[in-house]
Amino acid sequence: MFGGVRSKLKAWIVGGIGTIAALAVGGALGAFDAIQKPAVVLEPGQPVETGPWVVRPLRAYTVDKGVYGLPLKAGEKALVFEAEMTNRTAISSKNYFTTFQSTGGTDEKPFVVLVRDSTMSPALQPGLPERMAYVWGLPAGAAPPDRFVLAVNGEIYKQRDNLYGAPGWYNEHVIGTVAMAVGTGPDTPDAKP
* Cβ 53 to another protein shortest distance, Å: 15
Return d(Cα 56, Cα 34) in angstroms, integer.
30
Residue-level length of the chain: 193
Nearer to another protein, 167 or 185 (CB): 167
Q: How many residues bind another protein (CB under 8 A)?
A: 21
Contacts of 96 (CB under 8 A, 6+ apart): 53, 85, 112, 124, 132
- Phi–psi pair at 104, nearest 5 degrees: 135, 160
Interface with another protein includes 14 (CB under 8 A)? no
- The Cβ of residue 98 has, within 10 Å, a number of other Cβ atoms equal to 12
Return d(Cα 134, Cα 167) in angstroms, integer.
28
* Cβ 96 to another protein shortest distance, Å: 13
Give Cα 169 distance to the centre of its chain. 13
* Cβ 132 to another protein shortest distance, Å: 13
In this chain, which of 7, 19, 92, 171 binds another protein, going by CB under 8 A?
A: 92
Would you give the binding string for another protein spanning residues 110-149, x where CB under 8 A is met?
----x-xx-x--xx-xxxxxx-------------------
Residues that bind another protein (CB under 8 A): 90-92, 114, 116-117, 119, 122-123, 125-130, 159-160, 164-167
